[in-house]
Structure 1
Amino acid sequence: MPLTTREGPLYEVKAGLFKGLSHPLRIRVLELLSGAAEVSVAELQQETGLEASHLSQHLSVLRRHRLVESERRGSHVFYRLADPAIAELLAVARRLLVNVLQADRELLADARSLPSLGS
């Protein structure tokens, strides 16, 4: 029997988490937040180059999937990671990507060392 939460089976909840991570700009925002205790929306906008409305949509997805938390102070809104494990997840994903790219590089080198056909 699968482990369930109030949102459904755990594997479905995990899939939702990965949906929250499924856009390159959301990954970029999370990486920016990983490097600081908190970042203002203005700073996120400057770093990503996104229009305010597009950034707001991405932040909304990240909030909905409980990847970030926000706090309003006066006219400024600040974001932070909802859990330090998110930074760890990004680091693991980076290591995995480096390993995959290294394996691809080795395959490419092997393919280039094969004798050419024809000509």
Structure 2
Amino acid sequence: MVEKNIIKMKAEILKALAHPTRVRILANLREGEKCVCEIIDNLAIEQSNISQHLAVLKKLDLVTFKKDGLKVIYKVKHPQIFQILDLLDNILLEQAENTISILRGLQKPRKQK
């Protein structure tokens, strides 16, 4: 039963990472903590949309926040999340390299002049 719960928890985190806006928010926070207003400016997305996605990340304990006057400042709670994103980058790069290799095999030799 415990293993089933852990698998469900992992799936929830992966579901959170499955949305492009949330990945963009995390990438934006990679540089350090940011005010919601900065995230909105950097991503050019409406405040209500950003807030919804931050709520998902907050619910899963992936980001934390603090208030500074009227500003709400967010930061990534577990920097290991960037390792996951980096691994995904590596997978995408490997897939692209494999595709290029296959496509090069399709090239016909060109006649020399």
* TM-score tier after normalising by the smaller chain length: 0.7 to 0.9
Kindly indicate whether residue 98 of structure 2 is the aligned counterpart of residue 103 of structure 1: yes
- Relative to total residues, which structure has the larger helix share, 1 or 2? 2
Aligned-pair identity in percent equals: 28
Select the residue among 59, 62, 74 that pairs with 1:64. Answer: 59
Deviations 1:22-48 (A, max 9, x none): 111110110111122x01101100011
Kindly indicate whether residue 25 of structure 2 is the aligned counterpart of residue 29 of structure 1: yes
Paired position in structure 2 for 1:87: 82
Deviations 1:1-55 (A, max 9, x none): x643xxx52111111000111111110110111122x011011000111111011
Q: Which amino acid aligns with 2:78?
A: D
Cα RMSD, aligned residues only: 1.7
CA distance in 2, matches of 1:64, 1:34: 19
CA distance in 1, matches of 2:66, 2:87: 28
Structure 1 residue runs of 4 or more that deviate by more than 6 Å after TM superposition: none
Q: Which amino acid aligns with 2:79?
A: P
Q: State TM-score, norm by structure 1.
A: 0.83
SS at match of 1:47: helix
How many residue pairs get aligned? The number is 109
Paired position in structure 2 for 1:17: 13
Deviations 1:57-106 (A, max 9, x none): 11111111221111111100111111111111111111111111111121
Q: State TM-score, norm by structure 2.
A: 0.87
Specify every segment of 5 or more residues in structure 1 that has no aligned partner in the other structure, as ranges. 115-119
SS at match of 1:79: strand
Specify every segment of 5 or more residues in structure 2 that has no aligned partner in the other structure, as ranges. none
